[in-house]
């Protein structure tokens, strides 16, 4: 919170949230100032673009139009490319957003003196509204953005403005309707207020926001936005309109003072690490979850070093044959447990793990890209090179078969041809992978996925502790989890029943006697977020993993 407070007055909020947008970073639902990233993008544009226009106007208006059009083309091209190659960078940083703002600059520069027929303006205006509405109702979490998809709402807005530049259309009459116009007037303040209210409501609710709570947030956002517009925005604009230099000077002085106070508050929060003394030692301990990830993203490691990283007993000290753990980030979250067991049984544990990359041959996901197509074959090659005959496989299986609860489809599995649906591709790839391992004489231990929680666990159990509630007040029931994973479990049952793989189920070791899947046990979080086990959580599964090591024979 402190760092994000500092970032906004420094006009760098978009850089801060871009840096914080990694796979394992804090969830958006816990960042109250996330919406300030777009303000920073606009501020950066307003600072540099006038300098560009001054230079262009020295060459004349026509040169300025051509120059801005060129910037639009370059920025749009970069936006389309970077949205696919570097999605977080493209979303948060200015270069891929310049063209969106420059559409407005072009509208301000061009002068069309020849009057258009009214029907043309009507068509352009309503066409623009239709484009905006299409974006509202068609875009979702899976829509790549900005990129080419941003053309729909941005051109739509430009068409509405262009169609009404010469004369008011019926679309203008609709948009000028008092309730709609009022929302437009308060929209800037509404944008500032709505997200912090949603985040703090999540803090208070310890669960999903109910419809009544959402309604309260909606009404409160409108009220606060209206007050901000009336007592902050309007007085500033009126002073500017009157050219009252004294009033403007006072506003700027107050703004500078408030910015200094904001920066001081942000620094105080950041340097003090959030004033932890306001919480009890027990509560603080709940949030101090050691990262379960060692930084070994094996696909990258293999590319650099030509071999897989290893944990457990060093190869030269091992007295038992090696074991391989193969999977995605859910496999990575088990490394502390496998490291301990590898040392206990004097076995080297090789690691083939990479986030959002299923342990299968010939597959990839849109989130990771086609670079993962060779990964499965590379792992099988390493099995022969390192003489590994025991493999443990696990992953967040449902992620590759079905969209997530919020509709995310970026991790649905694909093959090289892309000719089938994700469940069919997954089933075929799993059968092929298990068959190839069997032909190589490899013993496979296959683990079903661990239960997924509805909210990030460390934050949720801390909030429960602060409010004097049980740490598992928001835990999911085993029945709910079974319903959610029915499709995945049925598919796995169909494939594994026809293979020689030994199937492991983590649920009995993680569920409690009341049929719930707890977030914490013995006062310690079992997860490091919604779905990755913490080192303590992984430790609970050691009895499940010990037979893997016990089954290996001493040389």
57-68 pLDDT, tens digit per residue, is 888 888 899 999
Q: How far apart are CA 118 and CA 18, in angstroms?
A: 45
Q: How far apart are CA 131 and CA 121, in angstroms?
A: 15
Tally of domains within the chain: 3
285 found inside a domain: no
Together in a domain, 427 and 332? yes
Are 251 and 231 contacting, i.e. CB atoms less than 8 angstroms apart?
no
Structure confidence at residue 435 (pLDDT): 94
291 found inside a domain: no
Together in a domain, 433 and 530? yes
Nearest to 379 by CA among 465, 437, 316, 438: 437
Report the CATH number at residue 440. 3.40.50.1110
What dihedral angle (degrees, nearest 10) is formed by the CA atoms of 393, 394, 399, 400? Answer: 10
Together in a domain, 533 and 474? yes
What is the pTM (predicted TM-score) of this model?
A: 0.78
Are 305 and 318 contacting, i.e. CB atoms less than 8 angstroms apart?
no
236 found inside a domain: yes
Taking the CA atoms of 419, 422, 424 and 425 in sequence, report the sign of the dihedral they define. positive
Together in a domain, 140 and 190? no
Phi/psi-derived region of residue 312, left when phi > 0, alpha when psi is between -120 and 50, beta in every other case: left
Together in a domain, 161 and 187? no
Tens place of pLDDT per residue across the chain (555 aa): 899 999 988 889 999 988 887 544 566 777 899 999 999 999 999 999 999 999 988 888 888 999 999 999 999 999 999 988 888 899 999 999 999 999 999 998 886 667 888 899 999 999 999 999 999 999 987 788 899 999 999 999 999 999 988 888 999 988 989 999 999 999 999 999 999 999 899 888 876 788 999 999 999 999 999 999 998 888 777 765 555 666 777 778 888 999 999 999 999 999 998 898 889 888 988 888 877 666 677 777 777 777 889 999 988 888 899 999 999 999 999 999 999 999 999 999 999 998 889 999 988 888 787 778 888 999 999 999 999 999 999 999 999 998 877 677 888 888 887 667 888 999 999 999 999 999 999 999 999 999 999 888 988 899 889 888 889 988 988 998 898 899 999 999 999 998 899 999 999 999 998 889 999 999 999 999 889 999 999 999 999 999 999 988 765
290 found inside a domain: no
Tokens describing residue 143:
């829509």
160 found inside a domain: yes
Are 554 and 320 contacting, i.e. CB atoms less than 8 angstroms apart?
yes
Structure confidence at residue 366 (pLDDT): 82
Q: Range of 501's domain? A: 298-550
439 found inside a domain: yes
Taking the CA atoms of 106, 109, 115 and 118 in sequence, report the sign of the dihedral they define. positive
Together in a domain, 438 and 374? yes
Looking at residue 449, the DSSP 8-state letter turns out to be: P
Structure confidence at residue 25 (pLDDT): 56
Together in a domain, 220 and 262? no
Together in a domain, 231 and 271? no
How many CB atoms lie under 10 A from the CB of residue 434? 21
Nearest to 77 by CA among 146, 152, 128: 146
Structure confidence at residue 207 (pLDDT): 66
Q: How far apart are CA 120 and CA 111, in angstroms?
A: 17
Together in a domain, 236 and 340? no
Together in a domain, 150 and 187? no
CA 209 to chain centre: 19
284 found inside a domain: no
Together in a domain, 120 and 62? yes
Together in a domain, 170 and 195? no
292 found inside a domain: no
């Amino acid at each position: 919170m402190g760092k994000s407070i500092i970032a906004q007055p420094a006009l760098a909020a978009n850089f801060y949230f871009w840096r914080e947008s990694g796979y394992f970073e804090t969830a958006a639902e816990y960042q109250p100032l996330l919406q300030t990233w777009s303000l920073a993008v606009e501020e950066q544009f307003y600072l540099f673009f006038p300098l560009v226009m001054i230079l262009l106007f020295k060459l004349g208006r026509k040169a300025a139009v051509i120059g801005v059009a060129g910037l639009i083309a370059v920025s749009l091209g970069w936006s389309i490319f970077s949205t696919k190659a570097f999605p977080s960078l493209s979303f948060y940083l200015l270069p891929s957003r310049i063209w969106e703002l420059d559409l407005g600059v072009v509208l301000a520069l061009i002068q069309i003196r020849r009057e258009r027929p009214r029907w043309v303006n009507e068509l352009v205006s309503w066409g623009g509204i239709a484009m905006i509405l299409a974006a509202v109702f068609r875009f979702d979490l899976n829509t790549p953005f900005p990129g080419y998809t941003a053309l729909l709402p941005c051109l739509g807005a430009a068409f509405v403005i262009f169609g009404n530049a010469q004369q008011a259309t019926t679309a203008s009459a609709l948009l000028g309707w008092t309730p709609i116009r009022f929302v437009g007037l308060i929209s800037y303040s509404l944008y500032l207020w709505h997200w912090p209210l949603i985040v703090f409501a999540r803090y208070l609710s310890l669960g999903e926001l109910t419809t009544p709570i959402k309604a309260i947030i909606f009404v409160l956002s409108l009220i606060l936005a209206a007050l901000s517009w009336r007592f902050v925005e309007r007085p500033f604009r009126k002073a500017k309109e009157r050219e009252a230099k004294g009033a403007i000077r006072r506003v700027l002085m107050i703004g500078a003072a408030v910015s200094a106070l904001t920066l001081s508050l942000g620094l105080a929060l950041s340097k003090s690490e959030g004033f932890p003394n306001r919480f009890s030692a027990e509560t603080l301990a709940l949030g101090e979850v050691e990262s379960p990830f060692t930084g070994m993203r094996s696909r990258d490691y293999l590319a650099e070093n030509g071999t897989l990283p290893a944990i457990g007993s060093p190869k030269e000290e091992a007295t038992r044959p090696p074991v391989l753990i193969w999977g995605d980030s859910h496999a990575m979250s088990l490394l502390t447990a496998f490291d301990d067991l590898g040392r206990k049984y004097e076995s080297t544990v090789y690691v083939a793990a990479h986030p959002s990359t299923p342990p299968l041959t010939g597959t990839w996901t849109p989130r990771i890209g086609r670079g993962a197509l060779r990964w499965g074959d590379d792992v099988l090659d390493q099995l022969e090179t390192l003489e590994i005959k025991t493999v443990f496989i696990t992953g967040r299986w449902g992620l590759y078969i079905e969209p997530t609860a919020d509709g995310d489809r970026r991790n649905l599995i694909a093959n090289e041809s892309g000719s089938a649906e994700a469940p069919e591709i997954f089933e075929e790839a799993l059968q092929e992978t298990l068959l190839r391992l069997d032909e190589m004489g490899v013993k496979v231990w296959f683990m079903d996925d661990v239960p997924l929680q509805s909210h990030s666990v460390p934050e949720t159990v801390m909030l429960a502790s602060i409010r004097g509630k049980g740490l598992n007040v928001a835990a999911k029931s085993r029945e709910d989890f079974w319903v959610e994973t029915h499709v995945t479990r049925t598919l796995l049952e169909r494939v594994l029943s026809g293979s020689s793989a030994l199937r492991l189920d983590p649920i009995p070791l993680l569920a409690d006697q009341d049929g719930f899947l707890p977030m914490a046990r013995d006062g310690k979080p079992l997860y490091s977020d919604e779905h990755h086990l913490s080192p303590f959580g992984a430790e609970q599964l050691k009895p499940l993993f010990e037979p893997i090591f016990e089954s290996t024979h001493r040389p």
